[in-house]
């Protein structure tokens, strides 16, 4: 029952993805969708200014434990996405998910099964799951 949303999504994509049936088309659209997410976030910084990026080297003291390391790490983001930027980023993420589901369909892979496998890895490896 929990996999219903992934299965329904993949089925819906299968019905809609008729223009890009070639795996090469889907791969290029997936890459384009990823690029569009990057661009939407960059525009949130450079055009809108609702978020800022303040990046510097992550510094974790040598004596800090693994559980304390989180206290020293930064996202490098300041601020929050405004409604317009959030809508644009969400739209681009949706497009990426669409083409990801399309690729899964072409390769006969269940998105739900992949999510479950990744979740199991995170549970078993914890912070050592260096992706």
Task: Concatenate the DSSP letters of all residues of 61-73 into one string.
Answer: -TT--HHHHGGG-
pLDDT at residue number 128: 63
Query: 């525009």: which residue's tokens?
Result: 43
**Digit-coded pLDDT (tens) for 2-49:** 678 889 999 999 988 877 689 999 999 999 999 999 999 999 999 999
**How much is the average pLDDT of 103-107?**
95
Contact by Cβ (8 Å): 66, 127: yes
pLDDT at residue number 64: 82
pLDDT at residue number 3: 76
């Amino acid at each position: 029952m929990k996999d219903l949303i992934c299965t329904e999504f993949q089925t819906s994509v299968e019905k809609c993805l008729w223009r890009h049936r070639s795996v090469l088309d889907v791969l290029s659209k997936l890459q384009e969708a990823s690029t569009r997410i990057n661009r939407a976030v960059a525009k949130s910084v450079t055009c809108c200014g609702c978020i800022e990026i303040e990046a510097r080297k992550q510094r974790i003291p040598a004596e800090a434990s693994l559980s304390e390391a989180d206290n020293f790490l930064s996202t490098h983001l300041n601020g929050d996405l405004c409604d317009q930027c959030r809508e644009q980023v969400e739209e681009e993420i949706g497009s990426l998910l669409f083409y990801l589901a399309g690729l899964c369909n072409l390769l006969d892979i269940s998105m739900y099964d992949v999510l479950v496998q990744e979740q199991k890895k995170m549970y078993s490896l914890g912070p050592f799951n260096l992706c």
